[in-house]
Every structure is written in structure tokens, then in C-alpha cells.
Amino acid sequence: MSQLPPAMATALPWLLPATVLGAFAATAALTGPLTRWLASHQFGKAIRLDGPQHQSKQGTPTMGGLVMLGVLCAAGLPLLAGRDRPAAALLLLSMLAFATLGLLDDLAGLARRSGRKELGVGLRARSMFVLQLLAASLLTLSILRLASPQAGLEQAINDLPLAALMVLAILGTVNGVNLSDGLDGLATGLLAIAFAALLAMGLSGASAVLAGVALGACLGFLVHNRHPAKVFMGNVASMGLGALLATVALLGGKLLLLPVVGAVFVAEVLSDLIQVGWFKWTRRRTGTGRRVFRMAPIHHHFEALGWPETLVVRRFWQAGALFAFFAWMLSRWLV
């Protein structure tokens, strides 16, 4: 769907590594100063009381992922003047739209700004879902319009099942990344693996450039976000990068491979849905809510089993890499 000018296509073998390295260096260099600024202005993470025992992380600067978003915007703006302007605009707008929702959630959940009795709670889940659904629907319509500019009413009706799958893919990816951002470096590493996998499958145009920038930015942020994390990316970045990942996959025609590339994200979402659904159903039936997992999402279940945080993160990274490789193999077979 995206195409590079001939000169850029010829330069891509060296341009892509340079893009990744440049994004890595910029993010690694800029995250430190932003972390100090966030700490000095008390933008500290509030740890939920009903979650795992991570009280030592209380007050760790959050929203450090703004650097990654800034690097991506800086790399994406020149693309708006090129031949791939429509795809570049969609990629940037999707990222910024969901990043805005994440920013609102971050600000509502900050300890010093929240008026709630419960620390670490941002926007209400129902309100957030409605806003996400609206943004995902508009993004899906834009992608379909870009793919078929002359499509009429009949084509639009035929595309409804595809549109529903695309909305589901966007919502699942955004929330999967957001839920996985609960352990030091977990979401950042998984995002780097996912963007690398999509690049390995073959991307072009703005999708290739921004996926490369995202890969480098995630690796650069991991310098500060690995255990023990000096800064968290925040919902602003987890939602923004989740939306970017989904949009890159959809523009690249990899809708069916996205759940495989992001299998860990899928597991995070499903574990949360199963836990909440089973608890509510058993409470309605028996008066006492029961749980399938010791804690959800599923990375906290393994913590509750006694696994060290670093072990959980390593095992989840390994699982993410394994599924990413499997997705790459599938993409070779499908071709």
C-alpha cells in the first residue's frame, strides 16, 4: 500500500539501519534529561493498592515515552512532504490520537493530580473503551479509504466484516501493549521485537521508515526502562505505540499475522478478560467471585507464583521472539 521513491528504495539497505541507530541514539540521549525533569516536577507513577507489591516503584517518573513519540514525529514529518504522504499521515495520526487518550489517562492517574481515593487509577474503563472504539473506527475507515479511494456503497458494505476485524486488531493491540507495561522493560522489549518482525516480513514506504524508527526508539528507551527502571513509558506511549504497531501491520497487509507477532499482547488481553469475566459470572451465580489466575494480566500471575520480575520479563521476551519468528515463517509460506 505504501511505496518509496526509486532513490529511497535503492538506498534502503543502508537507510534502514541508519534510521534504527539514529532513533536509538536520540531516544537514549534525550530520555535521561526528560526523566530528571519529570522527577523534579513530581510526575511520579502512582502504584495501585490492589496490584502486585511494587510499592518500591512508587514515584518513579512516568510518561518518559514522550521522547519516543517525539522522535517518531520528528522522523515522520519529512515523510508528509513525500509521495507516501497519505500513509505517513495515517501512521502519525493514529499514534497521536491514541497517545492523547493515554496522556489523559496518565494525568488522571498521577498521585499528585488524582482526586480519587484509589491511587494509580486513571479514566474509567467504560469511558476509555468508548473513546478507543471511536478512534479505532475512524482509523479503520481511513485505512480502507486509502486502500480503495473509489469504493462505493456496495464495496463499503462488503468491507464491513474486514472493518470489524481491523477495529478488533487495533483495540487488541493498543490494550495488549498497555497491559503489558506493568514490569520493567516488558512492553518496551516486546514492542521492539514486534516492530523488528514486521520489518523482517517486508515493509515499504512510510511504514518501513516509522517501524525502523520505532524499533530504534524502543531499544534506546530500554536503556532507561530496563530493571530497575529509572522511568516508565506511561500510557501515553504504550497506547500510542500500540496504535502505531497495529497501523503499520494493517497498511502492510499483515492483519492475520498481527496476532501471531503480538501473541504475548493477545495473552495479556485474554487473561484480563477471562479474569474479570469469570469473577463477575461466579459472583452473580454463587455470591462469591472466583479467579482463574492468581492475578491478572498474566505477567502478574507468574509474579504471584514467586517468579522474580526479571525472570518473567525474560521469559515473555523469549515467547515474543519465538512467536515473531513463527510469524515470519508464516509470512514466507503465505508468499
Q: What is the pLDDT of residues 260-296, one digit of tens each?
A: 999 999 999 999 999 999 999 999 999 889 999 999 9
More confident site: 335 or 199: 199
Q: What is the 3-state secondary structure (H, E, C) of 266-317?
A: HHHHHHHHHHHHHHHHHHHHHCCCCCCCCCCCHHHHHHHCCCCHHHHHHHHH
pLDDT at 45: 66
Mean pLDDT, all residues of the chain: 89
Residue 166: band (very low, low, confident or very high) from pLDDT cuts 50, 70, 90? very high
Q: For residue 236, give the nearest of 73, 58, 53, 25 by alpha carbon.
A: 73
Mean pLDDT of 247-257: 96
Share of the chain above pLDDT 90, in %: 73
Residue 117, pLDDT > 60, answer no
Q: What is the pLDDT of residue 83?
A: 87
pLDDT confidence tier of residue 64, bands split at 50, 70 and 90: very high
Averaged pLDDT for residues 22-27: 98
What are φ and ψ of residue 184, in 5° steps?
-60, 115
pLDDT beyond 50 at 254? yes
Least confident of 58-62, 192-196, 204-208: 58-62
Binning pLDDT at 50, 70 and 90, where does residue 112 land? very low
Residue 197: what are its φ and ψ, rounded to 5°?
-65, -45
d(CA 30, CA 117): 34
Which 8-state DSSP code applies to residue 64? T
Checking if the pLDDT of 132 tops 60, the result is yes
According to DSSP, the residues that pair with 44 across neighbouring strands are 61
Across the chain, which distance is largest between two alpha carbons, in Å? Answer: 67
231-249 per-position pLDDT tens digit: 999 999 999 999 999 999 9
Q: Cell numbers of 226, please?
A: 530496563
Q: What is the dihedral of CA 257, 261, 265, 269, to 10 degrees?
A: 20
Q: Which of 56-70, 158-172, 224-238 has the lowest mean pLDDT?
A: 56-70
The whole-number pLDDT of residue 114 equals 47
Q: Provide the pLDDT confidence category of residue 6 given band limits of 50, 70 and 90.
A: low
* Band (123; pLDDT cuts 50, 70, 90): confident
The continuous run of DSSP H or E covering 191 comes out as: helix 186-201
- pLDDT, greater one: 330 or 46: 330
**Per-residue pLDDT at 8 exceeds 60:** no
Cell triple for residue 193? Answer: 521485537
291-316 pLDDT, tens per residue?
999 999 999 999 999 999 999 999 99
Q: What are phi and psi of 44, to 5 degrees?
A: -100, 150
